[in-house]
Structure 1
């Protein structure tokens, strides 16, 4: 299996696990009365599944984006420097001219 596919699958698994923890926390803390709505409805299981899947998609996307950004090679170039402008020979430079007024 290609490394990128394995990375994607791992990110999706982490994202959906985080979504399950998030949904558990929302239900445990009864945020916005969702626990009462989900447990009091005959379609509560569908609502909980939709919350888990939709949050899982978002969290998986964030996990994958973070993982892909971490793949970037470290920039070993020079750090810092001076604020002096870089001038090249033969390049035009601005000249201050005083007004006669």
Structure 2
């Protein structure tokens, strides 16, 4: 858990450990495998899944708002070769103003 929190704090120094913990719990088994614990921002299908499953189903945001949030996070994490799924999801939720709803 501390590794996830430390990674999120690279992008949001005030990251809430409880919210990061909820995202880790939500992702569950996906975090056990290195490949599924990372987000491939160069894969359009991967980003579509993030928009559908995370933005749409979990956060209740679709369309242009979801697209813009995911695009913004892709730019924020552009320099990071290994984009943690926990960090990516946290930053998308923050971009959408939905951290308090997790």
Normalised by the length of structure 1, the TM-score is: 0.28
Larger radius of gyration: 1
